[in-house]
Structure 1
Amino acid sequence: MNPLKKLAGETAIYGVSSILGRLLNWLLVPLYTILFVTEEYGIVTNLMAYVAITLVMLTYGLETGYFRFANDDTYKAKVYSTTFFSVLTTSLIFLGAVLLFMDPISSFLNVPNRTYYVILLALTLAFDAITSLPFAKLRQEKRPLRFAFIKFCNIGINLGLNLFFLLLCPKLNAWFPELGVTRIWNPEIGIGYIFIAWFVSSLFNLILLIPDLVKIKWQFDAALLRKVLTYTSPILVVSIAAQINLNVDKMLMPKLISDASEALSQTGIYGANFKLAVIMTLFIQAFRFAFEPFFFSQNKDENSKKLYADVLKYFVILGMLIFMGVIFYIDIVKILIGPKYRDGLDIVPMVLLANFFLGIFFSLSLWYKLTDKTRFGAYMALGGAAITLTLNIILVPKIGYYGAAVAILVCSIFMTITSYILGQKYYPIPYDLKRIVTYFALGMSLYFVSTHIVFDNHWLKMLAKTPLIILFLVVVFQKEKLWHVVRRVKG
């Protein structure tokens, strides 16, 4: 099979599980933003930002390390059990530490009277960390269908429990109080049910992976682990810095805005509008699941660099289509958040572009992973994190969440440009820069044209913008000579 077709196929399978999961969870955002005031949703946004960074620390880059050494015949037999045992051990230590320092952690996270939030999140993080290597093994073994099946189960449980506790139970209690719904449901828990649902679905992940876990041949090689950790330690720095870039704004906002209630409110509005960029995030996540094992496996092919160049070009094309699709039809997309959150819609273009550039950065990052120069990834990520932190500290107190959106966009552009320059020095790839810049410039030009299309009727406005997407596709098909593909399909 053509390698690009195979990559596209696997991206589609991973993407279906990731995209459907995120879309279904995305559909919960209207529920959250209708049921909870901005301050309450601000607590969720703030806690989940800490969760994202903690999960990266608990897996400490071992997924990439596993991919790197699983393709080496010298280490293939031991690398999975060694890395899994390491993650299992550190996850248990993490759980013990959280339980030991429960009170100060709860106070730091501004939930001193809701310590069970911290317990639930700690358990969920431990389960997710423990299952990260089994999921990586499924990807390395090219078993996307089992990967997708387990993810779908996780999605269904999480979605079902959210709907049950937040929507069905309140209605049943109001309509049929004699049922005694309050025996299993407490209205005072509120946003706590979001964390309960996530915990149960994560536990179910672990249960479904038990057949894979019992097959592990327990071979622990300390020397191999040191070798893997030496390789992944810079990647860990990259991952932590990347999560800082994506989440530090949501962590800092409650501390940078002097009015506590306003701070949580702005955090909630920012977090809800940030989720409107989820389609771009999903595309990048699906691409990443397939691309990382792909470029390691293709490295020895004589045409590998041409393949990598083509991948980036088509990534840019699809990324710009997603950007225009979300922005041109924002009047439909915005129904996914409650009316009181829509003041923040102006940040959506910036957040979409920031995610788009981070996706390009990931595609470019193969150069330092293949050459074992992962320290450069750490340097770039730390530089980006410094920019994000600095701009947030400067801008958020002055312009609120708009400053956070500017910070993440500037950071992602900096990291992308820096990675391209360094990559061409240490591992030159013949990227079609002229085409890539052309497609990006065309997409942005069409976006600016669309801002001048004004109708009182939302449907007319969206209809008037549709030809702009068609124009973009016509240009792409013409330049990439894709018309013959269409004719072949019709034939």
Structure 2
Amino acid sequence: MKSMFIRRLIGFSIGPVAGAIISFITIPLTTYFIEPAEFGKASMFSVFQVLISTFLFLGLDQAYTREYFEIKDKINLLKNALLLPLISSFVILLMIVFNLNFVSKILFNTEHYKFASFLFGYTIILMVIERFILLSIRMEEKALEYSIVNIFIKISILICTLIFVLFIRTDFLAVIYSTVLGQIIGNLYLVIKYRSYINYFSFTLDKRLIKRLLIFGIPLIFSASIITLLQSLDRIFLRAWSTFEEIGIFTAALKISAVLTVIQTAFTSFWVPTAYRWYKEKKDIKHFQLVSNALLLFMSILFMILLMSKKYISMILSSDYSSAAFIIGMLCLQPIMYTISETTTLGIVFSRKSYLNIYVSVIAIIPNVAINILLVPKFGSTGAAIATGVAYIFFFLSRSILSNRYWKGMSIKLHLIVSLVMFIAALINAYNFEMIIMVNLLFLTVILLIQISTIRNLYNILFKTEVNKSWDFS
């Protein structure tokens, strides 16, 4: 049974990991040909795109996953959940078409890029469709298929990027056009293969179901919007008080820290349907606790490996982006704390008290805004990175504490201690000095010693048959 658990986890991990490798190849390619200021402009395209799409989902994407095991007709559930976001995305596209100059000014500080502004609106529709189809594949626990789709989209973007920077142009539009074209190619595959999922000719409108989805989803609009804003505030503050060059350096570091975001994507893709099923089967709380502790161990070790590799990360990027290596530690706290919180927030989703996510979002965004205001004008991308790291520690704390109020919950003392050690390590690594390698080895040793009980438990479950019999990871 534990082998089945591991196989599903590996199956969901293949796509994101392969996608990360492909993205990792794309990063030096992009930074070599494109200057930081141009890269910063391209970043604003994706920042505002994600902000708008979050509102469009209306929380119905998460409501869909919550109701998936409660509704027999899965396809009709998908179509009802997708309907409102899809209509809203078309409305947004029309609004953009009639205001291309304004959109271009907001995104790129000039009115000259009308076609790029149109693509901004067009890809929002694609993002909505892709989101719900991938959610459906994920909830069906089709691990290999989910991975294949992710790999295909990433390869499409990589090939398009190569074509643009080598043969067409080397400005920020090369990044935008190649990303959009690669996304279109990947989404065509999804739409053709899963056309039955979005075929509204065979559709039964269920107003009662939509109302039920909205009751769960609407509170998530506010929390998801604030979280998306939280993920974007760093670049927004840099846009207001710094330069496109600083945004470019910050974005390059963010791309590197996406190595851990891959684990976040792979784990949550696997964990969400598994956790819902375990809850329905009334699985013992110790299973949830062990998964959380094991994830903490894995993520904290990977975090230290990245910190110890920052010298080589600097070599991957062009010399214009070398300072990005010093803020990677802080930015890595974002995917780490988010991923770990997916195992400690279950009380919120199980109890259907989705409105609690609003409190989580507000608690996280307050220190983020305060630190950005204090540090960005003086320290630029470093200040923005510190604000992000602190905010996600608050995010984890609030998510976990509120969850434990409405579920048996689990102990997070270990998580708190390890998080504090990682934050101190990230802060020290924002500066360069001769003994940094020895310091990082010391931090790694401390992290392993703190989690020795988790290491012992995992060893016993994996290698001692008499212990393994008391666990059921099916």
TM-score over 0.5 for the alignment?
yes
Identity in percent: 17
What TM-score comes out, normalization by structure 2 length?
0.87
In structure 1, what is the equivalent of residue 233 of structure 2? 248
Report which of the two structures shows the higher radius of gyration computed on alpha carbons. 1
Q: Per-residue deviation at 1:445? A: 8.3
In structure 1, what is the equivalent of residue 112 of structure 2? 113
Q: Per-residue deviation at 1:137? A: 1.1
Aligned residue among 19, 23, 26 for 1:25:
23
CA distance in 2, matches of 1:24, 1:395: 34
Q: Contact conserved, 1:329 with 1:462, CA < 8 A, in 2? A: no
Q: Per-residue deviation at 1:438? A: 5.8
Q: Per-residue deviation at 1:451? A: 10
Q: Pick closer, same or farther for the CA change 1:454–1:486 going to 2, 3 Å.
A: farther
In structure 2, what is the equivalent of residue 485 of structure 1? 462
Alignment pair present for 1:200 and 2:181: yes
Aligned residue among 469, 472, 490 for 2:448:
472
Aligned residue among 229, 253, 266 for 1:273:
253
Q: Pick closer, same or farther for the CA change 1:481–1:382 going to 2, 3 Å.
A: closer
Q: Pick closer, same or farther for the CA change 1:479–1:449 going to 2, 3 Å.
A: farther
| Deviates further, 7-16 or 433-442 | 433-442
In structure 2, what is the equivalent of residue 101 of structure 1? 99
CA distance in 2, matches of 1:205, 1:440: 37
In structure 2, what is the equivalent of residue 47 of structure 1? 45
In structure 2, what is the equivalent of residue 128 of structure 1? 127
Q: Per-residue deviation at 1:314? A: 1.1
Q: Per-residue deviation at 1:111? A: 3.8
| Deviates further, 66-75 or 156-165 | 66-75
Q: Contact conserved, 1:91 with 1:129, CA < 8 A, in 2? A: yes
Q: Secondary structure at the match of 2:9?
A: helix
| Deviates further, 138-147 or 302-311 | 302-311
| Deviates further, 207-216 or 400-409 | 207-216
Q: Per-residue deviation at 1:452? A: 12
CA distance in 2, matches of 1:380, 1:446: 25
Q: Which amino acid aligns with 2:147?
A: A
Q: Secondary structure at the match of 1:266?
A: helix
Q: Pick closer, same or farther for the CA change 1:395–1:444 going to 2, 3 Å.
A: closer
Q: Per-residue deviation at 1:104? A: 1.0
**What per-residue deviation string (whole Å, max 9, x for no partner) do you get for residues 293-325 of structure 1?**
221222122324322212211111011011111
Q: Pick closer, same or farther for the CA change 1:334–1:475 going to 2, 3 Å.
A: farther
Q: Per-residue deviation at 1:377? A: 0.7
Alignment pair present for 1:343 and 2:353: no
CA distance in 2, matches of 1:8, 1:435: 24
CA distance in 2, matches of 1:230, 1:41: 40
Please give the residue correspondences for 1:262-411 in structure 2 after superposition, counting only pairs within 5 Å.
263-411=243-391
**What per-residue deviation string (whole Å, max 9, x for no partner) do you get for residues 182-204 of structure 1?**
xxx3x3x7321222222222222
Q: Pick closer, same or farther for the CA change 1:369–1:323 going to 2, 3 Å.
A: same
CA distance in 2, matches of 1:246, 1:135: 22
Q: Pick closer, same or farther for the CA change 1:383–1:164 going to 2, 3 Å.
A: same
| Deviates further, 247-256 or 476-485 | 476-485
Q: Contact conserved, 1:154 with 1:204, CA < 8 A, in 2? A: yes
Aligned residue among 60, 79, 90 for 2:77:
79
Q: Which amino acid aligns with 2:150?
A: K
Q: Contact conserved, 2:326 with 2:431, CA < 8 A, in 1? A: no
Q: Per-residue deviation at 1:232? A: 1.0
CA distance in 1, matches of 2:369, 2:5: 36
- Give the aligned CA root-mean-square deviation in angstroms: 3.1
**What per-residue deviation string (whole Å, max 9, x for no partner) do you get for residues 332-358 of structure 1?**
222232112112332222111233222
What TM-score comes out, normalization by structure 1 length?
0.84
Aligned length, in residue pairs = 459
| Deviates further, 444-453 or 73-82 | 444-453
Q: Which amino acid aligns with 2:462?
A: V
Q: Pick closer, same or farther for the CA change 1:88–1:448 going to 2, 3 Å.
A: closer
Return 5+ residue gaps in structure 2 as ranges: 466-474
CA distance in 2, matches of 1:332, 1:455: 16
In structure 2, what is the equivalent of residue 138 of structure 1? 137
